[in-house]
Amino acid sequence: MANTSLLKLEGDAGIIAASERLGMPRREFLQFCATVAAGLGLPQGADAAVAEALATRKRPSVIWLHFQECTGCTESMLRAEHPTLEKLILDVISLDYHETLFAAAGHQAEQARKTAMAENKGRYLLVVEGAIPTRDGGIYCKVGGQTAIELTRECAADAAAVIAIGSCASWGGMPATDPNPTGASGVAAVLGKPVVTIPGCPPNPYNFLSTVVHFLTFGSLPPVDELGRPTFAYSRLIHENCERRAHFDAGRFVIEFGDEGHRKGYCLYKVGCKGPETYANCPTVLFGDAGAGTWPVGCGCPCIGCTEQGVGFSKPIHMLAKVKNAEPPQQYPRIVEEQGMGATLGSAAILAAVAGAAAGGTAMIARNLGLSHKAEEAERARTAGERTEV
């Protein structure tokens, strides 16, 4: 099947068997492979390699540890639909240790972990969920008589790769919020080496799934940024793909929850949305497989920056975000643009700013950001009155 077209695989026996194992029609399975390849930013033809890996490769053993967390990352995985969790752990990966999903308990569970580590030495994936307390020797979190520090280092020693899932495991998350009495830290800080981080509270389950599929297909984890986050998921600001972005550019903002702008779906920047300084693919991947708008901003709640260290759980929710990308250019039209009026003094001024009056353009941007919808209407009425008097 290698180096072939995805369309030619529909009748392949291996693909048929894999789709049946996953409980998916063949075309849906191939579409899933194509979506994963596209989401990972892989070149043309890589979708066939993904399909081949899922159909023929041995499932990677996964050891999943839990520490200081709310189990929200696992709960997010439980709600994945393509494939569902039981298909993921039975047909895509071999989940050999997971305290929440395990039927075993006590010594039996710990023995299962040690057996899986020994039988898959150098080949298993270690997934860590939750922050690791480091103060007072790490006594604030113990499993099977071992501290979280000891368990993490023991399991990471012979792992093929280490993945920190969720903001707590990535950089401390909520447990690390000041004054951080337990010394909660991320996995990389405890191990003293970079690891792949998939932050979020909770992270999108498909970001984890795609990371595992990349490992299964190519024997390596996907490219990451300087914080260890896979670039396929964390290379673009939420602000860039937000469905409310046009309102931001036009200066239409929610001023308080429940106001007219909120009901009309205006930008949430002024009520503390951290989308302009947070890198994640939330607006494009969404959550819960429940259709359009199923992510916080789409539901009318400001982004809290949970994927961004120094923003989520650190920056007050009401504080305005730092706009990291270019300020909104003046050449963008308003949401409702009048037609057939010819050139106005306002449009002429904007043209002059675009042509070279940089200072004037910057002032217009600041003015645009500073106006609420009602203030903008009052300004328009005042300007119209002045023209009438002239």
**Res. 377 pLDDT band, cuts 50 70 90:** low
pLDDT at 366 over 60: no
In this model, does residue 129 exceed pLDDT 90? yes
The crossing angle, in degrees rounded to 10, of helices 205-218 and 26-39 is 90
Round to whole Å and give the CA distance between 87 and 93.
9
User: What is the CATH class of 60-203?
Assistant: alpha beta
Enter the tokens of residue 153: 């280092």
Write out pLDDT tens, residues 270-327: 999 999 999 999 998 888 766 677 899 999 999 999 999 999 999 998 899 998 875 5
Classify 57 as helix, strand or coil: coil
**Token pair 């998939």 is at which residue?**
198
The span from the CA of 66 to the CA of 146, in Å, is 13
Q: What is the mean pLDDT of residues 226-246?
A: 91
Q: Where are the domains of the chain?
A: 60-203, 238-389
Q: Which CATH class is domain 238-389?
A: few secondary structures
- Tell me the pLDDT tens digit for each residue of 324-352: 875 554 444 555 544 444 444 444 344 34
In angstroms, the CA 217 to CA 54 distance is: 8
Concatenating the DSSP letter of every residue in 20-68 gives HHHT--HHHHHHHHHHHHHHTTPPTTHHHHHHHHHHHSPPPEEEEEE-B
b/e string for 363-374 if b means 16 or more Cβ within 10 A?
ebbeebbebbbe
- The pLDDT of residue 255 is 94
Q: For residues 333 and 74, which has the higher predicted lDDT (pLDDT)?
A: 74
Among candidates 135, 113, 124, 201, which has minimal Cα distance to 161? 124
On whether the pTM is more than 0.85, the answer is no
- Is 50 exceeded by the pLDDT of residue 250? yes
Q: In the predicted model, what is the mean pLDDT of the chain?
A: 79
Average pLDDT of the residues in 142-150: 92
Confidence of residue 93 (pLDDT cuts 50, 70, 90): confident
pLDDT given for residue 174 in this prediction: 93
The average pLDDT across 364-382 equals 53
Q: What pLDDT is stored for residue 335 in this prediction?
A: 52
The answer to whether the 60-203 and 238-389 domains have the same CATH topology is no
Looking at residue 79, its pLDDT comes to: 75
Residue 294: per-residue pLDDT? 85
Q: Which residue has the higher pLDDT, 387 or 121?
A: 121
Residue 163 has pLDDT above 80, yes or no: yes
Q: Evaluate if residue 357 carries a pLDDT over 50.
A: no
Res. 135: pLDDT tops 50: yes
